[in-house]
Amino acid sequence: MTASGELRFSIGGVVLALAAAGDVSGFAVPDAYELFRTDDQPEVTLRVAGRVDDQEWSAEEVFDSGGLWKMDRDRDRWVIRMVSPALGPDPYQTAVFESDFTAGDIFTDTPEDCGELLPFPLRYPLAEVIMMNLLSLGRGVLLHACGIVDEGRGLLFVGKSGAGKSTMANLWKDEKGAMILSDDRVIVREKEGLFWAHGTPWHGDVKLCSPRAVPLDRVFILAHGRENEVVPLDAPTALTDLLVRSFPPYWSPEGMGFVLEFLGRMSRSVPCYRLDFRPDGSAIDFLRAKQGA
């Protein structure tokens, strides 16, 4: 749909407000984000405008993803530049944030054929870069994971690309009593001593997501196998496995310290396992039997 004015989205319990500014009349909102619309008070306010060609920042590069984005530091502000080889050497999107990421401006090139409307400003990967920074300031962690609610129990299947997150989501999607939070990106936060898995709009190939959250019952590090098998992981091993499957802020010593501490507490509080699984319905029967044991 096309929207104008201020829009609010609650992702992982963090409410972000998008407000069109300048000569921008609105932008298209993807269907996945519609599920995350809210009227709650925003914690983060983002102003969205067309590209400002004459704006300069005396920024120092602090991180280069080697792909679509770079992170710069401009005194007490952060500058995120989105680039694409298909669009030339100049950034097609630049976002400038206050040091705590609770306020910022997003400048986006407007394609000639879209008039005054902008493409959705929080498209991949900017939204995830914003969220990994916000979470690392004491809020939580973003993980490469498929999150499942199975009869009220929170199951997290964590894995790098190709590990089987989409396969696991396809196995669960039609199961009675089960719901998919996301098949690719899950936010984990702590509340009153419990670790909660939150769905995100950043789905993968299965294209399923939910704004719901559930307390985590178990965490599984995914691996393909000929047979279904779970191997308990001690806390240090689980911490290492989770860290390399997370989105940590490498450019921030304070943020990295928080992520390590958070994952350490999570791995001590929630049972963690390595899961070898067959890509068929037997994996679900196996996991449900283990949960009931």
Tell me the pLDDT tens digit for each residue of 40-50: 999 999 998 87
Calpha distance 201→147 (Å, rounded): 12
pLDDT tens readout for residues 193-236:
999 999 999 999 999 999 999 999 999 999 888 899 999 999 99
Q: Is residue 286 predicted with pLDDT exceeding 90?
A: yes
Q: Is residue 245 predicted with pLDDT exceeding 50?
A: yes
Q: Are residues 43 and 121 in the same domain?
A: yes
pLDDT in the model for residue 78: 94
3-state helix, strand, coil in the chain (%, to 5): 25, 40, 40
Q: Is residue 290 predicted with pLDDT exceeding 60?
A: yes
Classified as helix, coil or strand, 290 is: helix
Q: Is residue 291 predicted with pLDDT exceeding 50?
A: yes
Asked which of 58-72, 142-156, 232-246, 252-266 is least confident by mean pLDDT, the reply is 58-72
* Residue 253 backbone class (left: φ over 0; alpha: ψ -120 to 50; beta: rest): alpha
Q: Are residues 132 and 146 in the same domain?
A: no
Q: Are residues 182 and 278 in the same domain?
A: yes
Parent domain of 223: 140-292
Which pLDDT band, with edges at 50, 70 and 90, does 57 fall under? low
Q: Are residues 144 and 132 in the same domain?
A: no
Calpha distance 277→281 (Å, rounded): 10
Q: Are residues 71 and 41 in the same domain?
A: yes
Q: Are residues 50 and 161 in the same domain?
A: no
Q: Is residue 2 predicted with pLDDT exceeding 60?
A: no
Which pLDDT band, with edges at 50, 70 and 90, does 87 fall under? confident
Q: Are residues 193 and 260 in the same domain?
A: yes
Calpha distance 245→2 (Å, rounded): 35
Q: Are residues 129 and 167 in the same domain?
A: no
Classified as helix, coil or strand, 151 is: coil
Q: What is the mean pLDDT of residues 179-196?
A: 96
Q: Are residues 150 and 130 in the same domain?
A: no
Could you tell me the CATH number of the domain that includes residue 167?
A: 3.40.50
Q: How many residues does the chain have?
A: 293
Mean of per-residue pLDDT scores for the chain: 90
> 95, 118, 136 — which closes off a domain?
136
Look at the chain and report how many structural domains it folds into: 2
**Identity of the amino acid at 120:** F
Q: Are residues 214 and 262 in the same domain?
A: yes
Q: Are residues 92 and 23 in the same domain?
A: yes
Cα–Cα–Cα angle for 77, 10, 181, rounded to 5 degrees = 120
Q: What is the mean pLDDT of residues 84-96?
A: 84
> 73, 105, 136 — which closes off a domain?
136
> 116, 136, 156 — which closes off a domain?
136
Q: Is residue 4 predicted with pLDDT exceeding 60?
A: no
Q: What is the DSSP letter of 226?
A: S
pLDDT in the model for residue 49: 83
Q: Are residues 193 and 86 in the same domain?
A: no
Q: Which of 13, 43, 28 is nearest to 103 (CA)?
A: 43
